[in-house]
Amino acid sequence: MPRSLRKSIPALTVAVLLASCTSSESAEGGSGGEEDVEPATVEFRLVTLEDYDVVTVDDFDHLDLDDCRPPEGDPSASSINQVFEKVGREAADQAEELERYAFDAKVVSELVSFCDLTPKEVDLLPERMQFTVPTISCFHLRDDRRAATDSDEPLTTCGNTTEENTRTKYLLKAAPLTTDHLVDVEVVADDENEGERLRFHFSDDGALKWQELAADNQGLQLATVVDGVVVGAPVIFQPHDSRFDVGGLDSETATNLAARINAGIGGDE
């Protein structure tokens, strides 16, 4: 496995909030009128690393993926067979054979036709194929449809790190924690990272599930996914109470996220 992949697995991956997760109205008001806050969906997913299921895309500049972006307009394919016809049978066969993210430049050149898929066409493909095909970029995955993915199924999505223009692509597995297990979210100081952190408070049932999850998966990462985008993936340690923190966020991002997540779970900011 390339050593650069190991370097791409951060102890804490922090997302620069995407435009779709931010509104000027909530930024100005902070804890102001909830009627102006767009509710967000949040779920927790495991980064198991069993199959190298996280990769920092910019670690592989030799793949030259900057221009691999979806076209504008409506999709022309409405089934997986039509998607395979669009990319070409040879490229489809190559993609089906991939077991891990493809780092080889020659393989990338053979899969360049996947760049021409729209996000909705990409969504027709199996989640693992969405992850392993490098020419399915983070730009193909940034769409509202990500929030509607079945939480019991794997999810391929992205998050940004604090490094400019660095994109982290994930294949995430289901975890037994959902919005239903949250009571509320608050913003607290993150002295270690000189910023803010989100503190998730679980219900009694959620706290039990969180403690069981942590006991079974210590040392792995738990990704917090807001509207289909990873905003943090801290390493799991044995919890001492019914809360879970995601740190390294700036004040505006943390405030907006907390307001939208609380609106989605019916909590108070």
Q: Domain boundary at 104, 136, 168, which?
A: 136
Cα(157)–Cα(27) distance, integer angstroms:
25
Alpha helices in 154-217 (DSSP H): 204-216
User: Is pLDDT above 70 for 21?
Assistant: no
Q: Which domain holds residue 227?
A: 3-56+146-265
Q: Per-residue pLDDT averaged across 128-145, rounded?
A: 82
**pLDDT for 147 beyond 60:** no
**pTM of the full structure:** 0.76
Summarize pLDDT for 73-124 with one digit per residue, the tens. Answer: 888 999 999 999 999 999 999 999 998 888 888 888 899 999 999 999 999 9
- Considering only residues 55 and 197, tell me which one the structure prediction assigns the higher pLDDT: 197
Burial zone of 123 (CB within 10 Å; 0-12 exposed, 13-18 middle, 19+ buried): buried
Strand partners, 14: 232
- For 135, the token pair is 């020419």
Question: What is the rounded distance in angstroms from the CA atom of residue 134 to the CA atom of residue 129?
Answer: 9
Q: From its phi and psi, is residue 165 left (phi > 0), alpha (psi between -120 and 50) or beta? A: left
pLDDT of residue 49: 64
Is residue 255 very low, low, confident or very high in pLDDT (cuts 50, 70, 90)?
very high
Tell me whether residue 64 is in a domain: no
Tell me: do 202 and 152 sit in the same domain.
Answer: yes
Same domain? For 98 and 177 the reply is: no
Residue range 173-201, pLDDT digits in tens: 888 888 889 999 999 998 887 889 999 99
Q: Are residues 160 and 52 in the same domain?
A: yes
Q: Domain tally for the chain?
A: 2
Are 161 and 232 members of one domain? Answer: yes
pLDDT of residue 57: 63
| Co-location of 105 and 214 in the same domain | no
Residue 230 has pLDDT above 50, yes or no: yes
32-53 confidence digits (pLDDT tens): 444 578 888 888 999 876 656 7
Q: Average pLDDT in the 224-241 region?
A: 85
